[in-house]
Amino acid sequence: MRVSTSQIFNSGTIGMQNRQYDLYKTMNQLSTGRRILTPEDDPIGAAQALEVSQSKGVNKQYLDNQSYATSKLNLLDSTLNGVEEELQAIYERAVQAGNGTYSDSQRGMIAEELKRRLESMVSLANTQDGTGLYVFSGFKSTTKPFVANDGSAPAPYTGATQPYALGNGTSIAYVGDAGKEALQVSGSQVMATSENGIDVFMQVRDAQGNLTGRSMFDSLKNMIEILDPSDAVPFSTAAYGQALDDVSSSIAHLSTVRASVGARMQSLQSLSSTAEDIGYHYDTRLSELQDLDYTDAISKLSRYQLQLEAAQKSFSQVSQLSLFNIL
């Protein structure tokens, strides 16, 4: 077979270029630690790695959502704990005020203390998070949810634009809405990360689950008015007993709300643990698909380097051949 000079040169050039490409590819694999640099390296493996990477990204987003939800619920539970402590202290002082030996002035001192605790409860109900958003405003998180009733008898809550009140005599009105913020914390679960002021403070249920018809603030306000001699209302044992029951119902109601929040926090812990395990399995699978076998890669690098040197040397010698050299 006749071989032309151009064929010799083309064959030698292509051979050296192929070995250079092999060296370049192997050096990139060694520098990155990855076996698959482009889909042509392993089309099936590249497709599987892409699928696993996407699943890993979704799982990471769920982990981030779970972390954010946990942070919000921690703040919510901490605030509710503060409210519960105030209610417990109020109940203890109210029970003390029922002592038959107490004078009007002594009850008046307790009433003054309860006034300060009412202010503290309203402050807790208007708690803001680290970004300045109100915790109990529902979806109206930039609106201060609880305001003192100015006597204009706000209408009962029927939507996001009307305040919530329990009759004309309510002491504190709610101007948020009934929304509850929620996050997708897993592929099949959306979890509420907040509580609105209606469910926590305004619609109080007793131990049997029945609505009392009075908000936490009104229950405390009634107790203050009963104990405060400056209101010119004589102390009534029946009214006092009802007010005490209302405070007790508020404590029971708040315990139910906190139990719901605690259950969600516990669920998030389980979800996070599962998501972390899934993330580990995704990392392991990606490692199996993409990670480089360094022993094999270094062996290939040495072989390609030897082949390139041989190709270069042989091309150098062949390229010098000429009939005129022996004439």
> Binning pLDDT at 50, 70 and 90, where does residue 317 land?
low
Tokens representing 217 are 């603030």
306 phi-psi bin (left φ>0, alpha ψ -120 to 50, beta other): alpha
Q: What pLDDT, on the 0 to 100 scale, is given for residue 325? A: 57
Output the CATH code of domain 74-282.
Answer: 1.20.1330.10
Average pLDDT, the chain: 83
For residues 257-278, give the mean pLDDT.
Answer: 94
Q: With pLDDT > 90 as the criterion, what percentage of the chain qualifies?
A: 42
Please write the tens of the pLDDT for every residue from 271-288.
999 999 999 999 888 888
Least confident of 14-28, 125-139, 173-187, 199-213: 14-28
Return the domain boundaries, the chain.
5-53+290-326, 74-282
Predicted local distance difference test score (pLDDT) of residue 69: 95
Which of 313, 301, 255 is closest to 88 using CA atoms? 255
Q: Which long-range contacts (CB under 8 A, 24 or more apart) does 57-62 make?
A: 58/187, 59/275, 59/278, 59/279, 59/282, 60/279, 62/184, 62/185, 62/186, 62/187, 62/271, 62/275
Q: What global pTM score does this model have?
A: 0.77
Beta carbons within 8 Å of 301's beta carbon, 6+ residues apart: 23, 26, 27, 30
Flag whether pLDDT at 15 surpasses 90.
no
The pLDDT-based confidence of 155 (bands split at 50, 70, 90) is: very low
pLDDT value at 52 more than 80: yes
Q: How many CB atoms lie within 10 A of CB 215?
A: 28
